[in-house]
Amino acid sequence: MMLSLPFSLALGIIIVLAVLGLPMGLAMISGSIIYLLMRGQDMGIVAEQLLNGMYSNYIMLAVPLFILAAEIMNSGSLSERLLKWCDALVGRFRGGLAQVNVLQSIVFAGMSGSAVADAAGSGKMMQYMMTKDGKYTPSYAAALTAVTAVIGPIIPPSIPMVLYALISDASIGYLFLAGIVPGLLMAGVMMVQIAVTARMKNFPVEPPTPLRKIPRMTWEALPVLLMPAVLMVGIYGGITTPTEAAAIAALYALVVSVVIYRSVSAREFYASLLTSAKTTASIGMLIAGALVLNYVVTIENIPRSLSVLLVAWDLDPLTFLIAANILLLILGCLLEGTTILLVIVPILIPTAQALGIDMVHFGVVVVVNIMLGLITPPFGLLLFIMTRISGSNMRELVRDVFPFLLALLAALMLFTFVPETVLWLPRTFGYGG
């Protein structure tokens, strides 16, 4: 498959601009404009692609709304109450505080839809709790927080799955359902890993919370715990669309934080709006650049050419999935996850469809791969975030992340080779794929 000169030049420009520090979205738009100029295409196509892609797709609204919900929860006391409740349940076991980290990520996953939001939301608090009095090393606490944060976009709601639905036309509702079992299995793998390490390294045991206090703590944390249930009932009960559920999530977080817990001031709410707007603008620019570049890729007929080439190689679905896993894991070490999802994955989707691979199953495999990229050196974003939060050096952090990464890769192989682990729950709710 030969690439044309204009397309090769456009790719070179994108790479050079990105290396020089230009935001990836702007780099993609710039390279695409050069391509269209060399092809003699109308420049109005760029605006047309942006307007059609950004403003005519209802799904896109879910992204800023889930981001806002996460920011409001981080500003209030919701995370703190959640941590106390988790500590009351599993803190009494050896390595219990490490298990708390996993448990709070499972619950928090049902609220924000973003791994970065989960890490930033509970990262500082978990880091303090685990390293206080020298119970755990800073690097282990940071590594565990980074690893548990990847559960966030697997268990619904999930911003990456919303974006995948945008490019694949797969059902968001069934994608959300498909992520529940894999997310819980990943959490279970982490808990087993912690239990084994706790015995080997003699991790501390936290003072047990008296059983009589647990009902009261559960009552106090109930508004937080109900949020995932509200979202799931709304979506799968046919009451709301996923986008409307995202709006409800933001409103619910605001009402709980302001009215029930009274933990968010007007200034903090404004700061949440500002941070959400900045994050949304950053993601929006990436999506805009990807839309224009995807149009260029379509003109070059790359997806169809690649699909024909791979089919000609007589690849079976399993071999293709293995190759896709390897490609996405390698790219995850080098590129930002949203870029992979919006630029690389659309090229793979036609081949996956031609081979009869279920789009919901493929979506979960893709998102898990991208999330593992966040904790894979040398450019794992969560590694940099937790290095900054914990003050530990990257070498120690990677050393403590590595055993978890191996365990999660084994879980990824299970999801890849046994599609039923992903599709069982959607099929239970009527999915016909």
The per-residue DSSP string of 36-102 comes to HHHHT--THHHHHHHHHHHHS-GGGGHHHHHHHHHHHHHHSSHHHHHHHHHHHHHTTSBTHHHHHHH
Residue 225 identity (one-letter amino acid)? L
Contact by Cβ (8 Å): 334, 374 = no
290 contact partners, CB below 8 Å, separation of at least 6: 25, 28, 339, 342, 343
Whole-number Å distance between alpha carbons of 115 and 120: 9
* DSSP sequence for 319-333: HHHHHHHHHHHHHHT
* DSSP sequence for 325-364: HHHHHHHHTTS-HHHIIIIIHHHHHHHHHHTT--HHHHHH
Q: Cα 172 to chain center, whole Å?
A: 14
Q: Which of 148, 146, 155 is nearest to 112 (CA)?
A: 155
| Residue 184: per-residue pLDDT | 92
Contact by Cβ (8 Å): 154, 369 = no
DSSP letter assigned to residue 208: P
| Residue 121: per-residue pLDDT | 57
Number of Cβ atoms within 10 Å of the Cβ of 374 = 24
Both tokens assigned to 384: 């940099």
Rg (alpha carbons) of the chain, rounded to whole number:
22
| Residue 409: per-residue pLDDT | 93
Whole-number Å distance between alpha carbons of 127 and 145: 8
Contact by Cβ (8 Å): 17, 4 = no
Instruction: Please give the model's pTM, rounded to 2 decimal places.
Output: 0.75
| Residue 44: per-residue pLDDT | 74
Question: What are the distances in angstroms from CA 369 to CA 106, 213, 329, 349?
Answer: 18, 40, 6, 15
Each residue's pLDDT expressed in tens, for the chain with a length of 433 residues = 566 788 888 888 888 887 787 877 788 888 888 888 888 877 776 666 666 655 556 666 777 777 787 777 766 667 677 777 777 777 677 777 788 788 877 777 655 556 666 666 566 667 777 787 677 888 888 888 889 888 878 888 787 888 898 888 888 889 988 999 999 999 999 989 988 888 888 877 777 777 788 788 888 778 877 777 777 777 666 777 777 877 888 888 888 888 887 877 888 888 888 888 887 777 777 777 777 777 777 777 766 666 666 666 767 888 889 988 988 887 777 666 777 887 788 888 888 888 889 999 999 999 999 889 888 876 676 777 777 777 778 788 889 999 999 999 999 999 999 999 999 999 988 888 6
Number of Cβ atoms within 10 Å of the Cβ of 212 = 7
Whole-number Å distance between alpha carbons of 180 and 154: 7
Residue 255 identity (one-letter amino acid)? V
